[in-house]
Structure 1
């Protein structure tokens, strides 16, 4: 039976094996990698396959763009058949959005629950390894691998998206398909769900039940995050003051800006805004409708939007919140498990 007793020869030589083959893992690190090698190899394989797929798909997209004339490579001038490339981009971003689910349900939930269910935790902590050391290693090693995988996937996807980011409005940066899988966000999101899964597994102590409960919590986190993601940004407004009648133009949003709110508003002379449904109950003719708007002192249109320049700030703010929650959950797992694990 394998135990966690240190190798005296290896310890005496500063952690190097006596056969001269270089550093060798031992203790909790070796056990954790050995226990979960199937999950870790699967994570590595999926990451590699996704990277290869994104590189190939980006190459096809760039070949298409290179074949276009310079006039067609401007924003709003791409041919209709470019839609298939933007659909591939959006679709792959949607698939990458499942990384937090995989991290929480298939890596986090079974991590501690499996050892508690099979009795491995009791065996490990009865050796020369303390609960604190075991729990710290149990959380740290998968977390590092998850962070590396998420960082690589996010970086390659950003590299794929960058050439067409300003060329088409078919990909909105505020959507979870792009916001949650680029920059620092995939790392923070995956680590949060992983920590949640580990905590649930420790408390419920049953692998299958922990996976089901973790799935529900991760879905709930996704719903809440989708609802409040855009609140991290500072909404700006653009307006006109040349009337709203025939021939009046709506405000023009900056490039890559995404409209917010409930649409277009009426702007009044005092600087206030009225909902676009104002005066819809007026008699059904243009003159009466215009008179109604004039009585409300309407002078133009107003629109709310989020500029793309805020994307990275919003991502770092959101990631900061998620990483803070992750640290709090990890601390809870270690402190609670140190005293009540068995």
Structure 2
């Protein structure tokens, strides 16, 4: 069984290894340079104590701008789970049914349940190992940038090892189930990709910000000064205003104030002296909901756990379908 599974899926493993190698070489080269510059140029000291060192702002900005384009390229890593579901999970059973080889597999001395569980265990482990390896590499490279800007942002969170590996297993399980149901490789691949995105995208936009109740900070306006901000490492979920009674203003009410202050319906908001002075005159204050960067691992555990639970359910459904076929 082990040798047969390797023979059937060695190409996917070799492609994953090649992709990892092509990714690791440039990231290690640039990452070593970036980590050394982060320490040698005093940026690490600035991040640790920005108030105690002068001129930190320009130094940090220059460092971030230098590596910002490289950091943006890592966003593609968030699509690795989709590849696992589309090109590894979906063909696993769909190809067997489509080509008729399932009859030979099910006629062997090994039961169909053991046959499938062995394949799922071996390939699922490989998917998890690849995900953890990519995630560890990405997180190491982004280390200095995450210390400056936090880890709860979309890119840093999505490519961290726990969520990346768990999302890969979920996508893999989605593909396996799609193959068991549809029994056509191309159709199963499309369905697996669509189902994965249908879960992943709403999760990022509407669910993740509320894994825990956001903390709240209310600050007074300051004329001529931008609104007081939380540390850059915190994840701001929502910015708004509150009145003297503590009631939050609606989007429409805020828009009406902006039009009144700037004298035009198309005026764009910027927190300058006019807005801040208006807020003081009318008893308004800044309202911010946020999650501290220290919540990173809790959020990772919650999301990874959700993906793994769904993966178990989908794989169990696929095994049940195969046993009935």
Aligned twin of 2:70 = 88
User: Does residue 42 of the first structure (1) align with residue 6 of the second (2)?
Assistant: no
Q: Is the 8 A contact 1:173 1:308 kept in 2?
A: yes
Structure 2 gaps of 5+ residues are 51-56, 264-273
What SS does the aligned partner of 1:201 have?
Answer: helix
1:178 Cα deviation after fit = 1.3
Q: CA deviation at 1:136?
A: 0.4
Task: Compute the TM-score of the two structures, normalised by the length of structure 2.
Answer: 0.83
Could you say which structure has the higher helix fraction?
A: 2
Determine the C-alpha separation between the residues in 1 that align with 2:298 and 2:187.
Answer: 38
Answer yes or no: is the 8 Å Cα contact 1:185–1:318 preserved in 2: yes
Cα distance in structure 2, aligned partners of 1:116 and 1:251: 61
**1:250 and 1:134, CA in 2 relative to 1: closer, same or farther beyond 3 A?**
same
Q: Does 1:246 align with 2:223?
A: yes
CA displacement at 1:337 relative to structure 2 = 1.0
Pairing partner for 2:26 from 41, 53, 58 = 53
Partner of 2:306: 321
Identify the range of structure 1 (101-110 vs 115-124) with the bigger mean alpha-carbon deviation: 115-124
User: Does 1:190 pair with 2:168?
Assistant: yes
**101-110 or 67-76, larger mean C-alpha shift:** 67-76
CA RMSD of aligned residues (A): 2.7
Aligned residue number for residue 259 of structure 1: 236
Give the 3 Å change call, closer, same or farther, for CA 248–132 of structure 1 in structure 2.
Answer: same
Pair 1:205 & 2:190 matched: no
- Give the whole-Å Cα distance in 1 for the aligned partners of 2:17 and 2:188: 24
* Count of paired positions: 301
**Structure 1 residues without counterparts, runs of 5 or longer:** 1-27
Please say if residues 201 and 207 of structure 1, whose CA atoms lie closer than 8 Å, have aligned partners that are also in contact: yes
Q: Is the alpha carbon distance of 1:111 and 1:260 closer, same or farther for their aligned partners in structure 2, counting shifts above 3 Å?
A: same
Inter-CA distance 121–269: structure 2 relative to 1 (3 Å threshold):
same
Q: In the alignment, is the contact (CA less than 8 A) between 1:279 and 1:293 conserved in 2?
A: no
Structure 1 runs (4+) deviating above 4 angstroms are 69-73, 278-287, 289-293
Q: Which has the larger radius of gyration?
A: 1
